[in-house]
Amino acid sequence: MYTRQEYTAICAHCEHRKFDRKQGIICSLTNAPAAFEEECPDFIRDKRVNMDRRQVLEEKAKKEQEYTTSKAIVDSLLSIAGVLMIATTDLTLMSLLVIAFSFYRLLSGFDSLPQKKKNLNENDNSKGMTL
């Protein structure tokens, strides 16, 4: 048998944990505080709990890269659409606006990439961490 504090320390790393305002950390399967003898038969380690700061930053950078890539694809498609509008119709104000806007978005996205990486590294260095 464990103390409540020991149960809480174990359950804090389980995927089945749930927080109750009155009872603290409880099991989401039983909706009660832990009461197992030796080990919990339903324990599944939550991998997100033990992630260190570096892993969190790497995941964040990966998501930003995916967003930037998808943004570049959309902007490229807008540019192509603008060129096709010009090729198939007369030069109109609308087609020129689409082309100008898409190229602006495309160029501004690529210009901000080095600055984002620099800011991320500066934040880590200021906290004494490096990637």
Query: What pLDDT digit, counting tens, does each position of 83-101 carry?
Result: 777 666 666 666 777 777 7
Q: Is the pLDDT of residue 48 over 70?
A: yes
Is the predicted pLDDT of residue 111 greater than 80, yes or no?
A: no
Asked if 120 and 76 sit in the same domain, the reply is: yes
41 and 105 in one domain? Answer: no
Q: Do 101 and 77 meet the contact criterion of CB atoms below 8 Å apart? A: no
Res 102 pLDDT > 60: yes
Residue 80 falls inside a structural domain? yes
What whole-number percentage of the chain has pLDDT above 90? 14
Using a cut of 0.85, tell me whether the model's pTM lies above it.
no
- Choose between 94 and 51: higher pLDDT: 94
Indicate the SS3 state at residue 121.
helix
**Do the beta carbons of residue 80 and residue 72 sit within 8 Å?**
no
In a domain, 131, yes or no: no
Q: How far apart are CA 40 and CA 7, in angstroms?
A: 10
Q: At residue 49, does pLDDT exceed 90?
A: no
Rounded Cα distance, 100 and 29, in Å: 56
pLDDT at site 27: 92
Considering the domain architecture, whether residues 118 and 86 belong to the same structural domain is answered as yes
Structural domain containing residue 69: 53-126
Are the CB atoms for 43 and 12 separated by under 8 Å?
A: no
Residues 111 and 91 in one domain: yes
Of 1-10, 62-71, 80-89, 111-120, give the lowest mean pLDDT range: 111-120
